[in-house]
Structure 1
């Protein structure tokens, strides 16, 4: 399978006494026979898009398998960016997708189950943060993932985790300095609550970048109708759009981070 090809697969996840079959696209690196590390990608409020597919293709070109998971279609959702912004309870339900995906990846032929990671974007980044952080710092459970990438995550979702947090695996936290949808200050406030494993968190803030700086080809614009947890009452409005210098630096940073965290 060439690095740019993809295979449509289904990932089962239990919810409310029934099994949902999450649609996903599975990328494998070309001409590699040894078991490879794998990275699962979890999209933002608009569902899977060109940014997640682009990142999966890059990961495959670097020698990683990549799985882009669609958390929405099996639940009858398409876009939840508007005023009906996802609740913390909905995010907690979606966090189970991460557990199910890691378990699915660990069983796939040619995947090294000891070298798994996941990436979350925006709302998906907030969901990923719920799994990456623990509210019981005295006894953190070992993670199924060796590394986590949080890309402009919805850090307000971590409010429910409590005042004392712990980290048990390396985390790359990447944000745009001008982000007014998931602002840097909000994420810094979360990291200030980490009392164990703070040295495992690597933070990158890209100057000149807004939310979704990796949405290449999309000029920055203001979306007046989107939900925004950083504003009073969770409403409304935020800037959104590409900033290619930040994207290019993020590519360098995420490759370095994953190569270090997922080395054999």
Structure 2
């Protein structure tokens, strides 16, 4: 048992060492995106990370979860998870944009709100495509190499955006690939007709009791050629958030047991694995 434990620690250490160095002075720019959708504000606020150099770079549209984009109520500081992923992906050579679906509509966190004005299958799909179109206007972005990524409610947005029925008009290149962190798969799995039009990676904790893994297994099993599902043992929701210790949440609008109770927080082994698995999957944008 001790030998297996030492091997596991060695693998975890190697994964951490393999991560890119983050630029200490790398800060995102606040930008404004034309919305151009139904039931939208005229514009969306967003934060943009840009790698060093001239490009053209591949890019990622990153969709926040139900807690929103910010760690401060006044919308001036990105949450640690978003800042961390933005810096890491930029260090790997990706432009990363985070559209603010809630703050742009004068809304706060929505995790405890069961009657939401902004839905993953409606407004947030439009937000994702608006961000893609904005990136495609930037001279340093490779317009044909853009991926979509999202966490939780943003992950559910990913699942809705990649459906064949939600294919955007052919006025610009579509997303090339997508990544969903612990999305809510239940409603789509229950309908039984979900599919993806592009390669999709789903990463989630096997123990997730907020957005359970079983419905996502159903989606992946029905789409073996389009979906890669990675489940991390003993990990819960928000396993990649280094700034959040594992804790119990109450009063949530949607949970696995419909009791409003779920666990969320860091799992170091799952985080280390995701920091390798996600960039490995996104490398298709550089080919």
Normalising by the residue count of structure 2, what TM-score does the alignment of the two structures yield?
0.80
Q: SS at the partner of 2:125? A: helix
SS of residue paired to 2:138: coil
Aligned to 1:185: 214
User: How well do the aligned residues superpose, as a CA RMSD in angstroms?
Assistant: 2.5
Q: How many residues align?
A: 253
Structure 2 counterpart SS, 1:44? coil
Report the counterpart of residue 127 of structure 1 in structure 2: 157
- Give matches, 1:1-264, under 5 Å: 4-16=26-38, 19-30=41-52, 32-48=53-69, 49-84=79-114, 86=116, 91-134=121-164, 144-158=174-188, 162-194=191-223, 198-232=224-258, 235-259=259-283, 261-264=284-287
Contact 1:83 1:236 in 2 (8 A): no
Is the CA contact 2:182–2:237 (under 8 Å) kept in the aligned structure 1? yes
Q: How far apart are residue 230 of structure 1 and its match?
A: 3.1
Equivalence for 2:5: none
Query: If each structure's strand is expressed as a fraction of its own residues, which one has the higher value?
Result: 1
Superimposed CA distance per residue, residues 222-259 of structure 1 (whole angstroms, 9 cap, x where no aligned partner): 11111125334xx5111111111111110100111111
Deviation at 1:183, TM superposition (A): 0.8
Q: Distance in 1 between matches of 2:252 and 2:280?
A: 33
Shift of 1:169: 1.3
Q: Is the 8 A contact 2:162 2:197 kept in 1?
A: yes
Structure 1 contact 22–74 (Cα < 8 Å) conserved? yes
Query: In the alignment, is the contact (CA less than 8 A) between 2:48 and 2:95 conserved in 1?
Result: yes
Paired residues of 1:21 and 1:74 also in contact (CA < 8 A): yes
DSSP-derived class of the 1:46 partner:
coil
Please list every run of 5 or more consecutive structure 2 residues that lacks an aligned counterpart in the other structure: 1-22, 70-78
Q: Give 1:163 deviation, angstroms.
A: 2.3
Seen in structure 2, the aligned counterparts of structure 1 residues 86 and 229 have a Cα distance that, compared at 3 Å, is farther
Cα drift, residue 155 of structure 1: 1.5
Q: Which structure has the larger Rg?
A: 2
**Per-residue deviation, residues 72-129 of structure 1 (Å, max 9, x unmatched):** 1111111001143547956422211011111111111110001000101001110111
Q: What SS does the aligned partner of 2:239 have?
A: coil
**Structure 1 residues 56 and 208, CA gap change in structure 2 (3 angstroms):** same
CA contact (8 A) 1:40 1:67 kept: yes
* Mapped partners of 1:135, 1:28: distance in 2: 32
Q: Distance in 2 between matches of 1:176 and 1:204?
A: 8
Distance 1:191 1:44, change over 3 A: same
